[in-house]
Structure 1
Amino acid sequence: MSVGTRRGMSLETKYVELCKGINGLDKIILREVRGCSAEVYLYGGHVTSWKNEHGEELLFVSSKAIFKPPKTIRGGIPICFPQFSNLGSLEPHGFARTRFWTIDNDPPPFPINSSNKAFIDLILKHSEEDVKIWPHRYEFRLRITLGPGGDLMLTSRIRNTNTDGKSFTFTFAYHTYFHVTDISEVRVEGLETLDYLDNLKNRERFTEQGDAIVFESEVDKVYLSTPTKIAILDHERKRTFELRKDGLPDAVVWNPWDKKAKTIPDLGDDEYKHMLCVEAACVEKPITLKPGEEWRGRQELSAVPSSYCSGQLDPQRAFLSDKFGLA
């Protein structure tokens, strides 16, 4: 695999390793000095692993996941573009997650944080085959960063490069699968009292009742006008995931539960107990770009002891989030 350069510098450092993954697919390993790591496959621009300094896996990937194009990879963080779910004529969740991305050797400027050394820039452009099913030209740039404290950040920049003067419209999601100990002992905070579309009831609109969201059966909801921070509390592990987002007003919450899990070929019958999707998304109001216009969407994930989430965040982490406008 070609290592390449980033503006004259080698991409491969002690923080970034390019290697072969499952079935010989190219992947990137990001590492931080405290022992945190993340893995990204060029196939799909797909994050498939995020581990803390203790080597504990924080993302769920199915034991039956298929790492063989054109199949999609079950778990991690699939990129849903240019269509979320079946909200259009394309394959469910669009085609970005089944395309081979390339390393972007000359990315545009991103917000500078000199402490972030473990990152990779990827790019996906239209192909002539894609234009046949979605008649638009675009550049999709994706930066994946592993912060010094173990936070995982994904920043997307999508530009309309049509030369025919036409705008295009798309929906989007970071389809994040969190690894949880026991779904029945998990709750989600930050979505209380919000309106949502229930995909199990023909996308009928409801208002969330009660306190935090808990799980006792299949859930597939799109929460609307959501806050920039959502918390996922894993009581058994005494761990809280914090999801911060920018440019993505919606949040999808999904768990297939037992009956649906048995119908999903690349998911083990009981694996639903150990996964929860909470997805930073733009679904209800699609994004429209004129030629030359660019959209940006970002999510930042962190995992902290649950004691941090009793109304108080770690001060340094809160400072960094304020710096990036995500607090």
Structure 2
Amino acid sequence: MYSLLFRHVLARFDPEFAHHAAMAVIRALGVPPFSWAARALTAPRPQQQVRALGLVFPSPFGVAAGFDKNAVGVRGLDALGFGHIEIGTITAIPQEGNPKPRLFRLIPDRAVINRMGFNNEGADAAARRLAALRRRAPRAVIGVNIGKSRVVAVEDAVGDYVTSATRLAPLADYLAVNVSSPNTPGLRGLQAVETLAPLLRAVKQAAGETPLLVKIAPDLPDDEIEAIARMAVAEGLAGIIAHNTTISRDGLITDPAVVEAAGAGGLSGAPLKQRSLEVLAVVRSAVPADFCVIAVGGVETADDVLRRLDAGATLVQGYTAFLYRGPLWARQINRGLRR
């Protein structure tokens, strides 16, 4: 039924407008009695719990950063059955992001191109919302993804990340450093080991006891991915998130004119399935068995989640398929994993 609604109604709306409309519904689902009804339909079974990062995740499947940029929908996403919610990307300084339009559907590919540019209300606003959430004791694990403020020069990035970490780490179940979005100028250059190591060292110190992970790009050569993974272990990080969106447009079946019209930005969705598994294999081969690896990219079904768990992922995240599969997506995956 949702596929018909999407094809005949929702797909006619601007993608960013549709996202905000969906988020309004999700926020409502986080409030009793709606949350009670939603949770009765979607809650994962106790057997699906995963222990990682010193935490208990109700399910191995969570929602990736980018969906809830400002920590406004956590309770609703929790009620919909996600085992963890990674909010953000949050920057120390509030920013509007890139000019609109900046979000584009590639429906034949079940994919999205975005160049949002870390649009968010800033670390202070996120901290206030997280503090309020903590008072309500949500069941889901809350991760916080932090990035560089656009107005801050790349050479000053360390201080900017440390500001966000200092403000947000005490309120997060885990903290993720995003150095891999293609939509902030110069950001991906921070992935070079010689610049990434001191950045992560400083953020780790600011994060204190909060587990710290780093999110990498799929477009790096495998040897660089392996080097980052080994460095993350050496620096005492808790894990790696593999991976962010891609700048590649290979293998798309959408009309090339539509793809070209969308322009620059990160591609996410079904076309990343294979690269996601490849990156996961490289990372897992370079880190200890107990090192947390969160797999992201091209996840649509319970089978996709199982393939990543079987390939060594500790946890799995998704985002883009939420747009195409609807509000019961996490429930579908939890039920598939149960079977």
Q: Same fold (TM over 0.5)?
A: no
Higher strand share: 1
**TM-score normalised by length of structure 2:** 0.28
Higher helix share: 2
**TM-score normalised by length of structure 1:** 0.28
Higher relative contact order (CA 8 A, sep 6+): 2
